[in-house]
Amino acid sequence: MNDCLFCKIIKGEIPSTKVYEDEYVYAFLDIAPQAPFHAVLVPKTHIASAADIDESNSFYTAKIYEAIGKIAKAENLEKGFRVVTNCGEDGGQTVGHLHFHLLARRYLQWPPG
């Protein structure tokens, strides 16, 4: 857990551009944006991936979706947005701390590649 990149970002040990923060959630701009607006939302507790969400920690995911609504209003994303969680090797997850990509301000193709 000490080596977790997103735990370090939450603690401020690695700098990030904050988009939103509360007791349970931290959101920051992605370093390699895939859309004109691309934030990453993480729970302020180490959960490895979406496969590790269970009854003991699903509260954090609820708080993340509450935060998404607040960010969408604050950032005027009324045209829409996409929330993506990559999980595991086939899902393309590269950082082992549960996170939700919030992508907006361009038309997003469906299905993704």
What are the residue numbers of the active site? 99
How far apart are CB 58 and ligand 5GP at their closest, in Å? 20
The values of phi and psi at residue 28, to 5°, are: -150, 160
DSSP H or E run through 81 = strand 81-84
7 binds, among Zn ion, ligand 5GP, none (CB under 5 to 8 A by kind): Zn ion
Binder among 30, 37, 41, 98 for ligand 5GP (CB under 6 A)? 30
74 binds, among Zn ion, ligand 5GP, none (CB under 5 to 8 A by kind): none
Q: Per CB under 6 A, does 86 bind ligand 5GP? A: yes
Q: Which of 7, 103 has the CB closer to Zn ion?
A: 7
Strand, helix or coil for residue 69: helix
24 CB-contact burial (10 Å; exposed 0-12 / middle 13-18 / buried 19+): middle
30 binds, among Zn ion, ligand 5GP, none (CB under 5 to 8 A by kind): ligand 5GP
Strands 25-29 and 18-21, sheet pairing: antiparallel
